[in-house]
Amino acid sequence: MEQRRQQLGMTWAEVATEAKITVETLRAIRRGKNEPSPLTKSGLERALRWQTGSIDAIYAGRQPSPDTETRSQPPDAPPSLGADGLPFDLDSFVPQTPAERILKQYLKAMEQERRELREVRRRLEAIDEKLDRLATDEATGGEERSA
């Protein structure tokens, strides 16, 4: 990982940010104190511009494979977000561990709440517009409507 990070001209903090993990988690993985989850592996492979499976290859003593796909974003661009606002597609994410299953359930619940809040916000904005019109009508004595 060190060699690849240097090839890409990235700092460890940039790798961690792009992989969507903390610097502390990345440090633990690099020191062999923490084995990354499938989601973390995917993030690291994306950050280091490696093909899927490269982290597993490293753990198996093989070389990682550079991502030969042309990227639509420069390395310093923020990752594109899925429909649910996450840096991956939540619906296609297959949890591998109990913690990932719980996380997926939590994220789905949060997305539902986000949709409900957007609807509440839309309704409040409509009410606010009506109140503004009423206040304007009251201030002008209804002259605007008769004009």
- Which residue, among 2, 7, 3, 22, has the nearest Cα to 75 in the 3D structure? 7
pTM comes to 0.47
Class of domain 1-73: mainly alpha
User: Which residues, in sequence order, are bridge partners of residue 66?
Assistant: 50
**Where are the domains positioned within the chain?**
1-73, 81-147
Distance CA 22, CA 129 (A): 43
Q: Does an H or E element contain 103, and which?
A: helix 98-140
Residues 6+ apart with CB under 8 A from 60: none
At 9-53, the pLDDT tens digits run: 999 999 999 999 998 999 999 998 888 999 999 999 999 999 999
Per-residue confidence (pLDDT) for residue 86, from 0 to 100: 57
Distance CA 15, CA 79 (A): 12
